[in-house]
Chains A and B, each alone.
Chain A
């Protein structure tokens, strides 16, 4: 068996500027940190020539004969496309499992892509670099499958850590923010994640956002300019060790982000955020495209008990986490020497 995993991430600033509709004209920038919640891919032999993929999170299973043309639809479209890219020849069983529910804004679909590409890259003996893994994940998700998503999640999951990521039309650069362990620790202990219980459909939000971004005079473009400026400032503040600025930066990101498309926020989410600010948080935002998922809040340690109490009354569930810095990795592999697939001609 081979087990690969890739971390999900919390986006601190800049989300939305990683969509091609924006960065191809203006350049994009995000700051994100990966956390110790992972998407796992377990690969093992399967008898016969079939390829089997099952996923507990999507409650789905698929079995496919090698000779048949691959179908491209459904929740397993992504793993199918990746397996096809690596050119299957031998029976293979793939199991996908996630530590966070799908549709919760932590970048899970791209995390799946990175974990699976990492697994296939090692199995096939190609040993792709982090950059290559992220770029391939983007190519398959965005170009081949037409998902209306950005590029930040693929790079965050492939590289891991607290990063400043810049998006240019022909290049993505990843800068690991060189902050001391103490600064990273102090930042982490002031960030809280709460599960709203709402799963979103990021695709419909991002589709509208992409549409809005195409019109230069649309307010969405102005809001994205602001969001990018906030990402640049977040990088500078973190490098300067100014953690206390992060609450306000998150708040400014959120109020700009709310206006990007309909469905990012709604009165229930707004009221939760209002309660959070009243309860002691200095700022926060939904992580991911919006519409639900996880609410990220910045709060000084001495106020956290009171804040958690208030949000608990509202039915929000806190998820403990730590930062992680490994990115996509193979954590176990006893399939060394087994060649389940041929390289593509």
Chain B
């Protein structure tokens, strides 16, 4: 593959800044909170409970990705497998709630159908303030599910609503979302280790 380079590269500058910022924020990730999330997921799994994951935009894609990894990349031997559902993947249902009721209810109403005490609801959001993720957090609380929030910016309302919060202290969507992908892979790997131990 041929890549054209110039003496002065804007791209290289952006990339360097992006990587520097990622380095800094990844170094600051609260390991204790991440360990707590792993423990919650493992405990829920052992009790036969479910994990639900949700988010908007880039976070929706992270939610799907996370659900895929937690479902498949944690399988060890013939033991029971994690029950993981991303609430971002049923387009028919999402658009039905959005169209018929409101966009704010797209995740909360799915939780009312599926979630219960002992389940873990992972909410991924850069701002932590989108009305539909706040509604999801409230619904999860009303159902007795444990809520985990992966948030950026200042943490938003989710910071106060969720049981465990991992906050990435950046106002850049790309940086926050990159860190959240790192988090989901690290959590998946830790859950796999815990289950195969």
Contacts and interface: CB of A to CB of B under 8 A. Distances in A.
Interface of A: 223, 251-252, 254-256, 258-259, 267, 270-271, 273-274, 277-278
Given A255-B117, A258-B116, A277 B143 contact: no
Given A271-B112, A274-B135, A277-B142, 17 more contacts: A255-B143, A255-B144, A256-B117, A258-B116, A258-B117, A258-B143, A259-B116, A259-B117, A270-B112, A270-B143, A271-B139, A273-B142, A274-B138, A274-B139, A274-B141, A274-B142, A277-B138
Interface string B130-152: 00000100110111100000000
A51 to B, nearest CB: 48
A110 to B, nearest CB: 28
Given A274-B108, A274-B138, A274-B139, A267 B144 contact: no
Nearest to B47: A219
Contacts, number: 37
Contacts of A256: 117, 144
B9 interface: no
* Chain A CB within 10 A, most for which of B138, B139, B142: B142
A30 B169 CA distance: 47
Nearest to B144: A255
Interface in B93-130: 108-109, 112-113, 116-117
A251 B145 CA distance: 12
Interface string B65-92: 0000000000000000000000000000
B114 to A, nearest CB: 10
A278 B137 CA distance: 10
A285 B7 CA distance: 68
A286 to B, nearest CB: 12
Contacts of A267: 109, 112-113
Given A270-B112, A270-B143, A278 B138 contact: yes
A15 to B, nearest CB: 16
A327 to B, nearest CB: 33
The 7 A-B residue pairs with the shortest CB-CB distance, nearest first, are: A255-B144, A274-B142, A267-B112, A255-B117, A273-B142, A270-B112, A274-B139
B117 A270 contact: no
Contacts of B109: 267
Contacts of B139: 270-271, 274
17 contacts: A223-B117, A251-B144, A255-B117, A255-B144, A258-B116, A258-B117, A258-B143, A259-B116, A259-B117, A267-B112, A270-B142, A271-B112, A271-B139, A274-B108, A274-B141, A277-B138, A277-B141
Contacts of A258: 116-117, 143-144
A256 B117 CA distance: 7
A238 to B, nearest CB: 23
Contacts of A278: 138
B138 A254 contact: no
B110 to A, nearest CB: 11
Contacts of A252: 144
B155 to A, nearest CB: 18
Contacts of B108: 271, 274
A251 B143 CA distance: 10
Contacts of A254: 144
B173 to A, nearest CB: 27
A277 to B, nearest CB: 6
Nearest to A265: B143
A256 B143 CA distance: 9
A251 B144 CA distance: 8
Contacts of A277: 138, 141-142
A272 B184 CA distance: 33
A217 to B, nearest CB: 11
The residue among B113, B116, B117, B141 with the most chain A CB atoms within 10 A of its own CB is B117
A270 B139 CA distance: 8
A277 B135 CA distance: 11
Contacts of B135: 274
A306 to B, nearest CB: 15
A255 B140 CA distance: 11
A274 B116 CA distance: 13
Contacts of B113: 267
A236 B109 CA distance: 37
B102 to A, nearest CB: 13
A138 B53 CA distance: 47
